[in-house]
Chains A and B, each alone.
Chain A
C-alpha cells in the first residue's frame, strides 16, 4: 500500500509540474511580459531595461524554474487589471467557490444516492425509469440554460431568490442546484450499478437468510459497500465541478474563483488566469490522488493494477 501511495504521489507531482510548465509557456505565448510591464508607448530602451531587470532575457527554462520557485512560495505576481497581488485576489474568492462546490456535491449526492438505491432495488420499475430520465435529462441540458430557467422560475416569476450576487445564503441556492444537478447523472448511475451488483452478492443472500429486515439488508449491508466507489467518484466530480463553476458563477455574478477566471480572461489579465488554471489543476490532481488512494485502501485488488 505504501509503495502504491508513493507511486501515485510521484505521478501527481509530475502532473502538477507538467501543468505548471504548460501554464508558464502559455502565458509567454500570449504576449511579451516586458511590454506589459513597461506599459504601452514605452521606448525600446525602456523595454530592454525591463527585460534585464526582470530577468526576461534569460533562457526560457531558467526563467521557468525561477518562476516556479516564486509560485511555490505563494507569489503569483501582480494582476494587470485589478492592480493587486494575485494571491490576495484568489484568497478572497476561494472560500465562495469552495462553499458552493461542496454544497453542490452534497446536493448531487443527496439526489443521486436515494434515486440510485431506489432504482437498483426496484430495477426495471417506474422508479428506475424515472431515475434514468433524471440522469439522461441532466446530461443533455446545457448547464447555463438550466441556470437561466432556474433564474426565470425562482427569481423572476416566484421572486423567492435574488437574481445575482453573493451577499446572502439565498444567493447560493441556485448556483448550488445548477452545479449539483450537472454532476448528479454519473454519480446516480454508479450508485445504481453498484447496488445492483452488491444486492446480487452472496453475503446479501446470507443476510436475508438470517432473517434480517429488508431495510437493514439494503442499508447496512448493501449501501455501505456500494458507496465506496461513489465517494471516490464524488472527489473527481468535485474537481470537474470547480471547472464548471466558471460558467455558473459568471451567470449568477457569484464572486468566486470561476467568475474571477472569466473576468481575467475577458480583460486579458493573464497572471490571474494562469494562477486560477494552476490552482484548479492542483485541486483536481489532489482530489484524484485522494480518490485513488481511497479506492486502493478499500479494495486491495486495485493496488496491483498500478
Chain B
C-alpha cells in the first residue's frame, strides 16, 4: 500500500496558492494602526465603563481634601491615585468621565461635518462645471474664516454648552471632507464602471451613492479620523478659553483651564488631562496614518 503513494512523493512540492493577505492581517502588520487603535480602545473603555472604573463621583467635592498630589508624589495617597483638584474632586474619576466628552465631540463633529463635506465634495466632483465652481467658492470662503475665532464668537453669542460646541464645530469643520471627497470623486468619475452604470440607466443618486461613494470610502475614512482628532483638540481649546463646555463638566480642556491658577505648585493638574488629550489624539492620528497605508496606499504623501 505504501508503494502507491510513492510516485507522488517524488513530485516537486508545489507552493500552495496563497490568497492575498486579508485586510485584518494587513492591519495587524501596520504598527501605527495597532498602537493607534489600542489608544482609542483604552479611551473608549474609559468612556463606556466610566461609572464602573471611577473610584468616586466626578462631581463630589471634598473641601477638606483639596489639591492632594498623585500617588507618585511623597504626599500622595492610594485613596486618590491621580490626586484631587482645587475643589477636592477625585482627579482620576474626572479624567475617566472626561473621556466621554472628548469621544462624543470627536464622533459627533465627525458625523455632522462628514455629512456636509462629503455631500458637497461628491456633488462637486460628480457634476463638475458650474456646480463645482460654486462648491469650490463655498470651500474657499469657509477656509478664509479662522475656525477658532468664528467658533469662539458663536459660543459667546449663543452660550456655551456641549450641544452648541458640537453643532458649531460640525458646521465649521467640513472643509477637508469637501476638498478630499471632491478630488477623489473627480478621479473615480471617469472610470469604466461609473460610465457603465450611467449607460445602464442608473439614476444620478444611484451612481453617486452606489458606485462612487463606496470607491472613495478609503479616503473618507482617513479624513474622518484626522478630523475627529482635530475636533477634539478644538473643543479642548474652546473649553480652555472658557467658551466651550461649561463647568462642572469634566472636559479635559476645561480641567486644564481650571488648573491654570495652580500651575506653579500643582502642575500635575495640567499635565494629566493634557497628556490624556495628547494620547487620544495621537492614537487617532496614528490610526489615520495606518488606515491610509492599509486602505489607500497609492494616495500616500
CB 8 Å contact bits of A135-169 with B (1 = contact, 0 = none): 01101111111001101100010000000000000
Which residues of B lie under 8 Å from residue A97 when comparing CB positions? none
Greatest chain A CB density within 10 A among B140, B147, B260 is at: B140
Is the beta-carbon distance between A276 and B242 smaller than 8 angstroms?
A: no
Is the beta-carbon distance between B229 and A140 smaller than 8 angstroms?
A: yes
A270 to B148, CA, bound (A): 16
Is the beta-carbon distance between B141 and A15 smaller than 8 angstroms?
A: yes
Is the beta-carbon distance between A15 and B148 smaller than 8 angstroms?
A: no
Is the beta-carbon distance between B263 and A11 smaller than 8 angstroms?
A: no
Is the beta-carbon distance between A277 and B285 smaller than 8 angstroms?
A: no
Chain A residues numbered 22-50 whose CB sits less than 8 Å from any CB in chain B: 22, 26, 29-30
* B48 CB within 8 Å of chain A: no
CB 8 Å contact bits of B232-276 with A (1 = contact, 0 = none): 010011001111000000000100100010011001001100100
Is the beta-carbon distance between B153 and A26 smaller than 8 angstroms?
A: yes
Is the beta-carbon distance between B301 and A268 smaller than 8 angstroms?
A: no
Is the beta-carbon distance between A152 and B285 smaller than 8 angstroms?
A: no
* A262 CB within 8 Å of chain B: yes
The one of B146, B263, B285, B286 in contact with A243, judged by C-beta atoms closer than 8 angstroms, is B146
B283 — nearest CB in chain A belongs to which residue?
A: A140
Which residues of A lie under 8 Å from residue B135 when comparing CB positions? none
Report whether over half of chain A's contact residues are helix, strand or loop; otherwise say mixed.
Answer: helix
A210 to B264, CA, bound (A): 61
Is the beta-carbon distance between B146 and A242 smaller than 8 angstroms?
A: yes
Is the beta-carbon distance between B137 and A246 smaller than 8 angstroms?
A: no
Greatest chain B CB density within 10 A among A19, A148, A189, A285 is at: A148
A281 to B141, CA, bound (A): 9
Is the beta-carbon distance between B149 and A243 smaller than 8 angstroms?
A: yes
A247 — nearest CB in chain B belongs to which residue?
A: B237
Chain B residues numbered 117-143 whose CB sits less than 8 Å from any CB in chain A: 137, 140-141, 143
Which residues of B lie under 8 Å from residue A144 when comparing CB positions? 236-237, 240, 253, 256
Inter-chain CB contacts under 8 Å: number: 127
Is the beta-carbon distance between A246 and B152 smaller than 8 angstroms?
A: yes
A219 to B270, CA, bound (A): 43
Give min CB distance, B300 to chain A, whole Å.
9
Given contacts A142-B253, A142-B274, A152-B263, contact A247 B141 (CB under 8 A): no
Which residues of B lie under 8 Å from residue A240 when comparing CB positions? 146
* B281 CB within 8 Å of chain A: yes
Is the beta-carbon distance between A246 and B156 smaller than 8 angstroms?
A: no
Which residues of B lie under 8 Å from residue A140 when comparing CB positions? 229, 278-279, 281-282, 285
The one of A268, A280, A288 in contact with B149, judged by C-beta atoms closer than 8 angstroms, is A280
* A284 CB within 8 Å of chain B: yes
* A18 CB within 8 Å of chain B: yes
Is the beta-carbon distance between A284 and B237 smaller than 8 angstroms?
A: no
A22 to B148, CA, bound (A): 16
Is the beta-carbon distance between B256 and A277 smaller than 8 angstroms?
A: no
Which residues of A lie under 8 Å from residue B148 when comparing CB positions? 243-244, 246-247
Which residues of A lie under 8 Å from residue B14 when comparing CB positions? none
Is the beta-carbon distance between A14 and B156 smaller than 8 angstroms?
A: no
Which residues of A lie under 8 Å from residue B143 when comparing CB positions? 284, 288
A283 — nearest CB in chain B belongs to which residue?
A: B144
Give min CB distance, B243 to chain A, whole Å.
7
Is the beta-carbon distance between B137 and A11 smaller than 8 angstroms?
A: yes
* A265 CB within 8 Å of chain B: yes
Is the beta-carbon distance between B263 and A156 smaller than 8 angstroms?
A: yes
Which residues of B lie under 8 Å from residue A11 when comparing CB positions? 137, 140
A19 to B157, CA, bound (A): 19
A240 to B281, CA, bound (A): 20
Is the beta-carbon distance between A262 and B241 smaller than 8 angstroms?
A: yes
* B25 CB within 8 Å of chain A: no
Which residues of B lie under 8 Å from residue A149 when comparing CB positions? 270-271, 274
CB 8 Å contact bits of B217-242 with A (1 = contact, 0 = none): 00000000000010001001100111
Is the beta-carbon distance between A30 and B274 smaller than 8 angstroms?
A: no
B154 — nearest CB in chain A belongs to which residue?
A: A26
Is the beta-carbon distance between A265 and B243 smaller than 8 angstroms?
A: yes
14 interchain pairs, CB-CB under 8 A:
A18-B141, A29-B157, A30-B157, A142-B278, A143-B233, A143-B237, A145-B270, A193-B301, A242-B146, A243-B146, A246-B146, A262-B152, A266-B156, A285-B144
Name B's A-contacting residues (CB within 8 A). 137, 140-141, 143-150, 152-153, 156-157, 229, 233, 236-237, 240-243, 253, 256, 260, 263-264, 267, 270-271, 274, 277-279, 281-282, 285-286, 289, 301
With A247-B240, A265-B153 given, name 8 new contacts (CB 8 A).
A15-B144, A16-B144, A140-B282, A140-B285, A148-B263, A276-B149, A277-B145, A281-B145
Q: Give the 7 A-B residue pairs with the shortest CB-CB distance, closest first.
A: A243-B146, A145-B274, A140-B282, A140-B281, A281-B144, A18-B141, A265-B156
